[in-house]
Chains A and B, each alone.
Chain A
Amino acid sequence: MARKEIKRIEETDVLVIGGGLGGCMAALNARQQGAKVLVVEKANVRRSGGAGTGNDHYGGIIIPGLSVWAVEDLVRDHTDLAFGFINQDLVYAMAAEGFDRVKDLEQMGVEFYKKDGQYYLFPQLHKVRSALYMVGRDIKPKLAKALQRQKVPIENRIMVIDLLVRDNRVVGVVGMNTRDGSLTLFKAKSIVLTTGACFRLFMNVTGVLMNTYYPPSSTGDGLAMALRAGATLTNMEGTNAIRGPKNLQRAGSGTYWPAKTVDAQGNPLEYPFPGESYYRWPAFTAGWTREQIQEGRIRLPLFRDTTSLSLEEIEFVEWGLRQEGGCWILLEWMKENGKDFRTHLMEDDTYERRVSGGSGLYVNAQCQSTLKGLFAAGEVIAGVPWGAGPGAITLGWKAGGNAALYAKEATNLEPLSNQIEQILARLKKHNARGDDRWFDANLALQRLMSSYMGDIRSEEGLRIGLYRLQELVEEWKIGGRNPHEIMRALEIDNLATIAKACLTAALERRASSHYHLHFRVDYPQWDPPEWKKWILIRQVGDQIHVEYRPLEYKFI
């Protein structure tokens, strides 16, 4: 079976693909359940993933005795924010089990912000306060240490190329070392997919390819390989675009900003919702803000006006930014360049679209996909929009536990040799003779997606987009002169796979949808009730199958 190209075979019970917050928590729980666990990571677990350089807020949490709300209230509010496109079971688990995971993180040395010795809730996404703050700058090195203590083996710099499937069940993967190019066959009884978000699919507003607010190596690899393996994806028509510090793209817009946003005339933005939910804008205000701009009520550019905040508030904003995903670079730069939140306004910008956090792998309440033995958590799954760190942490833990349970009942199956042949053939395509640099291929793909799946979408435009995508994929010869470049070329393959799913889903949603940031000029009515349904996407051979499923709620 194993070809001579594959030098090494590893066997495990649970294989975790991606060592971000979700993957680390999955591995820890699976280990606790007594499973043999192995983590493979494209970068290095120490600083990989969306929280690689930190995370300051832990939102979407209900703490008994402290929260004003019950878990159900939070689930209802989250459902409203997402216009109903939500997996309520998973959002429930995120809110209800969040505090247990906070305790776990504290055990690993992650401190949470307290006032007078008590946990303190901050406003964030929801109508009432639902976020804790943490000293999260080193959350990843701390998780990596916790894995070491539990003797969970980690293989860094391994890019998984594809999943191996038998009888609708995952049985292993082939991974490539991105530094020496060596290939390993990993056999597993179950797999947890925690490969994170999908970036670099749309043209970057700053013109700098890798200037993304999640690591640019987050290219939706898990989504693409799950789709190729026959798993079901949903919400792929959904894109979103956040607003943050101009030019230096950072996810820190989710941090605590008690400051008001003002437009170019100095008028504060009055959001169409009450309360102190500073971060409530992601769902509808992208659309709302655009309408206000087009109708002349808001003049661009927008600024964050921190100048009227108290010193204490400014100090807290800076404290949060120091913990949150590389935002401290912003603070350092300010210090070096004489900019100060007390005297200066910070210009904001809307970043390019990304595949929405609520889009991805279709999973059930146990975090299991439609493929047997394939569990997933974090940004890669659908139905938990704005789950971010807490979503990855709580559901990663859940996915890992369930994958361990599954592995207890399962045996290792021998992968099929034709699937391994296919992987080797794909690798061979990216050789030194390829004319196109991965960099250029990425730009061409981004141009395509921004052209045909941008602000204004239509039946014809999307069809032409699909035609152009096929043309591009047949035309490009993406070279790879070394393992690193081959990794980048494989990322572009993955982005192209996802692009096809996105264009197809956008074509199928024949209605305009606020949640999906999806304006169909040929179906301009917003959110018609008959379109309250999921669009499920599945790939069979080269064809994409589409299915609809109504939205279902436990809590209304």
Chain B
Amino acid sequence: MPVRIDASLCTGCKLCLESCPEDVFTLPRKSKVPRVVRPDECFHCGACVMDCPEKCIHMVLPLPLKPRFIEKGIFTKITKNRTEK
């Protein structure tokens, strides 16, 4: 799931449902906590996280979307270890 909602904090204000540009949430019957029903349509913009007044939505990046960083020391080691021919 692209986002995790902490059901213990959610008050059911539905602002995430309104904000989401791709309409990935619905409100299931007999529940006050929205559910992500179209996870593949989320583009991780974070509108729901930004707007949640209870701060109870947490963004989860799927594997192919994880940014890639490299520590300076490791970068230097990898790139300088190579023997020029």
- Interface residues, chain A, with chain B CB atoms under 8 Å away: 43-44, 46-48, 52-53, 137-138, 141, 156-157, 178-179, 206-212, 215-217, 245-248, 264-266, 303, 305, 307, 325-326, 328-330, 332-334, 339, 343-347, 439, 484
The binding surface of chain A is classed by DSSP as: loop
Q: List 14 contacting pairs A-B, 8 Å CB cutoff, sorted by A.
A: A44-B19, A46-B18, A210-B43, A212-B43, A217-B22, A247-B68, A248-B44, A248-B66, A303-B70, A325-B45, A326-B47, A330-B67, A334-B69, A347-B67
Let me know if A43 and B22 touch, CB within 8 A: yes
Q: Known A215-B45, A439-B40; judge A43-B21 contact (CB<8 A).
A: yes
Note all chain A residues with C-beta closer than 8 A to B72. Answer: 305, 307, 343-345
A141 to B53, CA, bound (A): 14
Let me know if A333 and B61 touch, CB within 8 A: yes
A116 to B65, CA, bound (A): 40
Note all chain A residues with C-beta closer than 8 A to B21. Answer: 43-44, 47-48, 52, 215, 217
Let me know if A326 and B19 touch, CB within 8 A: no
The binding surface of chain B is classed by DSSP as: mixed
CB of A482, distance to nearest CB on chain B (Å): 11
Note all chain A residues with C-beta closer than 8 A to B71. Answer: 343-345
CB of A237, distance to nearest CB on chain B (Å): 27
CB of A118, distance to nearest CB on chain B (Å): 30
B13 at the interface (CB under 8 A from A): no
Let me know if A333 and B67 touch, CB within 8 A: yes
A422 to B60, CA, bound (A): 43
Let me know if A52 and B47 touch, CB within 8 A: yes
Contact partner of A210 (CB less than 8 A), chosen from B42, B47, B51, is B42
List which B11-53 residues lie within 8 A (CB) of chain A: 18-23, 38, 40-47, 50-51
Note all chain B residues with C-beta closer than 8 A to A47. Answer: 19-21, 45, 47, 50-51
Let me know if B44 and A326 touch, CB within 8 A: yes
Best-surrounded residue of A48, A216, A329, A346 (most CB of chain B within 10 A): A329
A262 — nearest CB in chain B belongs to which residue? B75
Note all chain B residues with C-beta closer than 8 A to A178. Answer: 23
Contact partner of A248 (CB less than 8 A), chosen from B19, B41, B65, B75, is B65
Let me know if B23 and A53 touch, CB within 8 A: no
CB of B24, distance to nearest CB on chain A (Å): 10
Let me know if A248 and B61 touch, CB within 8 A: yes
B9 at the interface (CB under 8 A from A): no
A516 to B42, CA, bound (A): 30
A484 to B76, CA, bound (A): 50
Let me know if A53 and B64 touch, CB within 8 A: no
A329 to B58, CA, bound (A): 10
Let me know if B70 and A266 touch, CB within 8 A: no
Contact partner of B40 (CB less than 8 A), chosen from A210, A328, A339, is A210
B59 at the interface (CB under 8 A from A): yes
Let me know if A215 and B79 touch, CB within 8 A: no
Let me know if A266 and B45 touch, CB within 8 A: no
CB of A25, distance to nearest CB on chain B (Å): 19
Note all chain B residues with C-beta closer than 8 A to A215. Answer: 21-22, 43, 45
Let me know if A332 and B59 touch, CB within 8 A: yes
Let me know if A46 and B23 touch, CB within 8 A: no
Note all chain A residues with C-beta closer than 8 A to B79. Answer: 264-266
